[in-house]
Amino acid sequence: MSIFSSDKLKGKKIAIVATDGFEQVELTEPKSYLEGEGAEVEVISLKSGSIKGWDKTDWGDKVDVDKVISEARVADYDALVLPGGQINPDKLRVEQDVVNFVGEFMRSGKVVAAICHGPWTLIETGLVHGKRMTSFPSIKTDLKNAGAQWEDSEVVVDKGLITSRNPDDIPAFNKKIVEEILEGAHAPRS
């Protein structure tokens, strides 16, 4: 453990669901931050091996996949993180295994955190109606059409549902994930 890390989240396990085209810093920075707080973090994807990030304007680095979505169980995790990027959530939201996993997380009351275009996958669950949320501005209308109450803030929390707009919001996003996990489970969302 370095002088910059802690064990606040020791014993906690966090799932990051992503596929090729995730916005690189929206996966790597939360993953590193949460691990630095003592959490075990697993990258879950549609395929085994590795997935490739998108770094602003071109393909970025690969990230190892720990588990495929068909093997993942909500009961094994304390929180879920959904990175954005345009490509990643657009691929995830059409995969029924992903939508089922994310929907079960939403109904569980456990912490769910989505940044940038990540809320696209949340929309597919049918569970964002009435929720206070934010996102990348280009999907604001999608969230509103799904019944969410959209606001332009760096981080918005609604009973353990955490959303942020873009990579500039990552520091506030990361801190809020830790705070919400430490608060514990919320009432199930429906």
Positions marked active-site: 116-117
Evaluate whether 16 touches 31 at the Cβ level (below 8 Å). yes
Helices 170-183, 24-36: inter-axial angle, 10-degree rounding: 40
> What's the rounded Cα separation, in Å, for the pair 159 and 39?
21
Cα 131 versus chain centre, distance: 16
Give Cα separations from 141 to 7, 88, 107, 118, 124 (angstroms). Answer: 39, 19, 23, 14, 14
